[in-house]
Amino acid sequence: MANYGMAFDYKLCINCHACEVACKEENGIDLGAKNHRLWIQEDAAVSGDFWNLERDKVEFMQMQCQECQDAPCMAACPNGAIYRDENGIVRLHKDLCDLTRACMSACPYDARYVDEKNHITDKCIFCADTRLARGETTTACQITCPAKLRYFGDLDDPESEISKVLTSRKYFTLKPEHKTKPKLFYLE
Amino acid sequence: MNIIETSRRQFLQGSVSLCIYATSTLSSPWRTTKTSNKKTTNTPYLCNMCRNKCAGYARVENGIITKLNPNHHFPKSRNMLCQKGNAGIQAIYDEDRLKYPLIRIGNRGDGRYKRATWDEAYEYIKEKLVTIIDEQKDNRSTVAYCNGEGFNKDEYIKFFGSKLGSANFLDEGSICLNTKLGATQLTIGDVGEMDVAGSDYMIISGANRYESLITPDSVDMIHSKQKLVVLDPRCTVTATKADEYLPLYPGTDLAFCLSMIYIALKEELYDKKYVREYFDDFKKLKSHILHEKYTSKWAESKTHISAKKIEQITREFFAASNPLYYLGRRSVWSQNDFQLRRAMVLINALAGSINRKGGIIFGKPIKLDDEAINEPIYDNAQGRFDLDGIVYGSQKGGSWLNFRQKVLDKTAPYPIKAMFIRKHNIMQNMPNIAKTKKMLEMMDLVVVLDTMPSDTAMMADVILPECTYLEREDMVVSFNRLEPSLALRNQVIEPLYESKSMQDILKGLGKKLSVPLFNVSAKYDEDLQESIKEDGMHKAFVEGGYDMAELYHYTTTQRNKKLITKQFGKEVYNSLKEKGVWYPYMKEQKELFNDFYEYYPPEKRFYTVDKRYRVKASLSKLEKAGFDAMPTWHKRYDFNLHEDKFRVITGRYVTTTQSATANNVMLKDFHEENFLWINDNDAKRFGIEKGDSVVVMSSLSSIVIKANPTNKIAPNVLWIPHGFGIDSQEMTNAYAKGASDNMIIEDKFEKIYGCATMHETNVIIRKI
């Protein structure tokens, strides 16, 4: 029993794609750029002529399911296939999913994709049925990251590293206007 | 597995892709395997997806590797595994892998081979080699051999150099970093190591550490609070992340460095105490630089970096506590490359940043005992010729372009009749592919040891399938100088198909070749004839060291155990087997944050060591040979192109390791093909838009490549990512995707180290 969340020291990202490959290999995600549980969004703001480039040092944002506490996907699913597991992770009853894609339309973060192999909509579940299920305490993306910019842990445990980092540093969440209350945090 | 037999081959004539080792291109592509929810074995191994050799743990389920994870014990790789390291699984289970020994039945390059047994392959090699060496009257150097970057190279040299007796070994150094290694060695007496983590101010010229990862440098840069200044004709990710990005023309970094030296001397910013104690020829350097008037204004006119900026950076650099001018790695760019790297070393020296924290450190690498072997002496083996006309050059890896040219021109003192090529895709890795092809066509025997049916493998007479890095144990390796450690590549799974480790291949070859080649020597070698007369055949063979398989009487595991236990004890050996790594402070290793560790306690790191050395500002050997003794600018270095001409520069995507990862399905997802970077204003002038096909034509040849117009590259400069345009149809994921830079890069080389100058080709372009 935990309440898992993730915080990103997002400015450290160099877009090396290690997290994306690690996620695919760990969780058996199909090849193909469109199949992904997580991705890096390039907010490249390099404008101007070559000799006078205006660089924005923050180029890359880690994107994946934001683990909303008020999850629009859950409410949108006509089959009630989406539930929250004992660790606070938004999960899917695979047998109840019949690909209405209502969850995909409802998600403000574009976190879901169609998993054609299993005929479901899939998204990041913090390696819940792989690493966490065998008692590991890291996700594939977190442990492989050269920048170690992903803090993963129990938000309910005040002693966890993620709780401490969220206490000591400023952060923001994505698209607060949707009032989804994400459990993913971006550290300033 | 669907093997097309030789007889069917004729039936299929007309189709070039008749490959017996490709299972079927129609079968579904390899898919990832989800790891299970069960605990299982995790074997420590060392990665081989690029030159870094990061440490990892391989998860194995039912004999299948399902996941590769970082190994937190290794100081060098800092508990990370990159995109390529993670995609290593796809390299092991690549359906296009070389699976069986193959013997050529078609023409070189057309991909027609028959499956052979290992013994048939060895037998074929023996027949040819005995004839060749006999024809050449026991001049063993008629057999050239090469090996790209990686483990086992020294052993490979022992086999073909010491045992077989050839002087002609070539490696990647002369198409990679020999100018940098040589410049450091000759200027401060050691190649050293750069302490990136300890530096508070770092300047990088061209090296793209965030898209060409080097551990621990790239990781340390991410976490360092240092000020980072990047010079590059291309706004790379490294440049984007830098505190200051100084765009400049290609090949003009030397002008920037010369001006830094000028300002430091003029304004007396340098470390006077250090200079007094360590410099040779400081006065000579000073008068040269001041006399040449390498002012900031002058450098501005060469580089396009403003004089004010050059002054500011120079003053900041020399005012910093631990400044570092990063020397780079793949350093062979221009004719001036050796002196460019020397200038960088001299800047570090002027700042006193040698043998101290944050500078070029000497450190204390762990020295491993050598496994001594008995080396025969061949009377008739001649010396290498590829360093003729080269001032220094690497006695180890030679000069590829000079070697190739002399073979082609037949100006070598004796013919090269055979080549053994291991883990070195020479058909893709050096400028002017047509010449490499021609050189290989001149050989009577070409043998390739590799894991993939590369363009080079397709030129072989015999292909010997080597197993991949996860299927074998390699000999223990010593890493790094500041935080030295030992690491061991343990075997994770048994070799797939009929592939073998290099050691097993050389053992087989050695057993097959030793006696027949000894007999050839006995025919021509007078010293050997003498000892046969005195001691008899058997004794002469054994005591003369003619047993080529000598090193392989024991397995790699046995050799490792013996070597490590003898030198370091059982505990170290156990650590290497169980954790893959050993260093003296493992028990004190502590987590700093979020699975990021401190390895050596700061006070135990070898920042400064007792070492006698001098800083040599001037190299008289160069002067005598008619070259600059000190870094000097020449007009021919100016970047001065007609507006319709372009300079080609090369590099790579973060997801590729040259052509070695070209067929990796996972990495292909990121870059299916390569795109030509062209300045957006230049593109407009030529009416080129994103995705348009463009012909790029040099004096050698032309390629067609899709364009990526961008404001991130200098005008009149084109960037071609390397590792694409693979010609081997057996590399089904890579074949004909994108274009190969080395089709058009001219094969020029500088004469100090004989290194290919990759960034000196001018081209014209046309939209199609």
ipTM rounded to 2 decimals: 0.97
Pick the residue from chain B with its C-alpha nearest to A139: B69
The answer on B447 and B576 residing in a single domain is: yes
Per-residue pLDDT tens over the stretch B591-624:
999 999 999 999 999 999 999 999 999 999 999 9
The answer on B592 and B657 residing in a single domain is: no
Helices (H), B3-135: 6-11, 83-86, 88-92, 118-135
The answer on B756 and B700 residing in a single domain is: yes
| B46, B48, B49, B52 alpha-carbon torsion, rounded to 10° | 70
Stretch B15-30: mean pLDDT: 36
By C-alpha distance, which of B128, B123, B224, B165 is closest to B511? B123
Pick the residue from chain A with its C-alpha nearest to B671: A33
Domain residues for the domain of B266 are: 189-364+612-624
Stretch B277-297: mean pLDDT: 98
Using DSSP bridges, classify how beta strands B590-593 and B596-598 pair: parallel, antiparallel or unpaired.
antiparallel
Return the SS3 of B761.
strand
Per-residue pLDDT tens over the stretch A30-65:
998 889 999 999 876 688 999 999 887 667 999 999
pLDDT for B670 equals 94
The answer on B229 and B195 residing in a single domain is: yes
The answer on B114 and B215 residing in a single domain is: no
Q: Which residues of B touch A117 (CB under 8 A)?
A: 31
Q: Which residues of A touch B681 (CB under 8 A)?
A: 49
Structural domain boundaries in chain A: 13-43+57-151
The answer on B219 and B356 residing in a single domain is: yes
> Would you call A138 an interface residue with chain B, using a CB distance cutoff of 8 Å?
yes
Q: Given A29, A33, A146, which is nearest B32 (Cβ)?
A: A29
The answer on B105 and B219 residing in a single domain is: no
Locus of tokens 């493992």: B586
CATH class of A13-43+57-151: alpha beta
Q: How far apart are CA B574 and CA B579, in angstroms?
A: 8
Instruction: Kindly state whether residue B651 falls inside one of the protein's structural domains.
Output: yes
The answer on B168 and B99 residing in a single domain is: yes
> Edge to edge, what strands does the sheet with B244-247 contain?
B244-247, B227-232, B201-205, B323-326
> Would you call B67 an interface residue with chain A, using a CB distance cutoff of 8 Å?
yes
CB atoms within 10 A of CB A41: 12
Min Cα distance A116 → chain B (Å) is 13
The answer on B258 and B142 residing in a single domain is: no
Stretch B527-534: mean pLDDT: 97
The answer on B160 and B115 residing in a single domain is: yes
Domain tally for chain B? 3
Pick the residue from chain A with its C-alpha nearest to B234: A50
CB contact under 8 A, B86 and A142: no
Higher pLDDT pick, B21 / B193: B193
> Would you call B197 an interface residue with chain A, using a CB distance cutoff of 8 Å?
no
pLDDT for B221 equals 98
β partners of residue A42: A60
CB contact under 8 A, A22 and B665: no
Per-residue pLDDT tens over the stretch B213-246:
999 999 999 999 999 999 999 999 999 999 999 9
Instruction: Kindly state whether residue B78 falls inside one of the protein's structural domains.
Output: yes
Q: Given B70, B210, B712, which is nearest A143 (Cβ)?
A: B70
Q: How far apart are CA B761 and CA B281, in angstroms?
A: 35
pLDDT for B21 equals 33
CB-based contact B221:B234 (threshold 8 Å) = no
pLDDT for A59 equals 76
Question: Any idea what the CATH number is for the domain that residue B68 is in?
Answer: 3.40.50.740
The answer on B148 and B63 residing in a single domain is: yes
Instruction: Kindly state whether residue B471 falls inside one of the protein's structural domains.
Output: yes
